[in-house]
């Protein structure tokens, strides 16, 4: 009798015990190598979540387009098949035209100007500009200022004529190269090296770290230090998914993201300085523009500001123009 009562009590205790919930799964997919600033940022995010939210949140990192590539990652996010991405800002063109401000050539004098703009209220508003498409912006991750790599030295805009440059999916970038007599080809980042090897493109625009991590310098011996644009990413999640995370956990995740963002942006600056030196040391010719040459590139491309002001918004463009210290 006693054994029967004890067994019944134990069974009742098991039935009344709370069922432990499965940890929230966050799949973080990206298209670059793990030794890039974005790649390291994804791994740091996973590390800090594992340390601080063990049992509550689980992060899986999928680098190098192993889960989703450039062409399908945003739709996968909207469908909640992946929960974190960090696409370049050019990739959002079909969801908002305001982010095209970051594609305008020679708008920002340097990376410090970019960072000042990203702290402005107008720039913070852009993080939520795609809410209607179930895309929730969390932070800006900067990969650095863009340089022009090519199969020949580019000192003046006229020297780019006839070349084809690999670009991200952006109408502004297409017109940027058209204005100097060059062609462009929209290609996923992972296909850039093969396109260079096959001769489909003869040039590209990337920060120093991307040129080195993808070994583009072995195929393009010349890099012109234009600093003509910025390659920045937006860390994004699926809006419905992110808002569904319990408030206290979401606050902790957002604090981790702030911490990782600082680390990513600092890492990008460090890597770009190092990789510029690496290219010089390994025999690439880095072309430095004098003030007259830079002014010529700027004059050729700057009319795009006026052409796109209506799509971007004059208030956004004005806010971006005021961050330079000319």
Q: For every one of its 326 residues, what pLDDT tens digit does the chain have, with 9 covering 90 and above?
A: 545 555 555 555 555 544 457 999 999 999 888 888 899 999 999 999 999 999 999 999 999 989 998 889 999 999 999 999 999 999 999 999 999 999 999 999 999 999 999 999 999 999 999 999 999 999 999 999 999 999 999 999 999 999 999 999 899 999 999 999 999 999 988 899 899 999 999 999 999 988 998 888 888 899 999 999 999 999 999 999 999 999 999 999 999 999 999 999 999 999 999 999 999 999 999 999 999 999 999 999 999 999 999 999 999 999 999 999 75
pLDDT value at residue 17: 45
Q: Are the C-beta atoms of residues 164 and 127 closer than 8 Å to each other?
A: no
Distance CA(241)–CA(82), nearest Å, equals: 10
Which distant-in-sequence residues (6+ apart) come within 8 Å of 30 by Cβ? 38, 39, 42, 61, 62, 63, 64, 85, 86
212 in Cβ contact with 279 (< 8 Å): yes
Residue 60 bridge partners (DSSP): 27
pLDDT value for 190: 82
If one counts every other C-beta atom within 10 angstroms of the C-beta of residue 193, the result is 16
**Cβ contact 315:99 at 8 Å:** no
Query: 243: how many CB neighbours lie within 10 A of its CB?
Result: 11
Judge whether 97 and 172 are in contact, CB under 8 Å. no
Can you give the pTM of this predicted structure? 0.88
| Nearest residue to 169 via CA among 259, 66, 85, 100 | 100
Q: What are phi and psi of 54, to 5 degrees?
A: -55, 135
Gap between the Cα atoms of 151 and 140, Å rounded = 32
Tokens of 175: 């017109």
Assign 150 to helix, strand or coil.
strand
């Amino acid at each position: 009798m006693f054994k029967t009562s004890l067994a019944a009590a134990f069974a009742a205790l098991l039935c009344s015990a709370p069922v432990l919930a499965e940890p929230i799964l966050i799949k973080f997919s990206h298209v670059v190598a793990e030794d890039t600033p974005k790649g390291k940022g994804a791994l740091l995010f996973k590390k800090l979540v594992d340390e601080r939210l063990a049992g509550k949140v689980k992060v899986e990192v999928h680098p190098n387009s192993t889960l989703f590539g450039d062409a399908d990652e945003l739709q996968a996010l909207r469908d909640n098949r992946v929960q974190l991405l960090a696409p370049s800002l050019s990739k959002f063109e079909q969801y908002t035209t305001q982010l095209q401000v970051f594609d305008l050539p020679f708008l920002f004098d340097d990376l410090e100007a970019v960072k000042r703009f990203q702290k402005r209220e107008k720039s913070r508003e852009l993080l939520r500009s795609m809410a209607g498409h179930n895309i929730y912006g969390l932070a800006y991750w900067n990969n650095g200022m863009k340089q022009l790599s090519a199969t020949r030295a580019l000192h003046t805009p006229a020297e780019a004529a006839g070349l084809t440059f690999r670009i991200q999916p952006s109408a502004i970038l297409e017109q940027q190269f058209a204005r100097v007599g060059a062609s462009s080809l929209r290609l996923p980042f992972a296909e850039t090296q093969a396109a260079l090897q096959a001769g489909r493109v003869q040039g590209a625009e990337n920060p120093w770290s991307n040129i080195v991590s993808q070994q583009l310098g072995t195929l393009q011996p010349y890099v012109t230090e234009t600093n003509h644009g910025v390659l920045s990413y937006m860390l994004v999640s699926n809006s419905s998914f992110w808002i569904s995370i319990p408030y206290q956990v979401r606050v902790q995740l957002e604090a981790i993201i702030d911490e990782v963002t600082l680390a990513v942006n600092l890492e990008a600056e460090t890597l770009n300085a190092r990789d510029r030196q690496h290219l010089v040391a390994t025999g690439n010719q880095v072309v430095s523009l004098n003030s007259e040459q830079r002014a010529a590139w700027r004059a050729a491309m700057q009319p795009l500001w006026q052409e796109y002001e209506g799509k971007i918004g004059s208030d956004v463009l004005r806010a971006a123009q005021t961050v330079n210290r000319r």
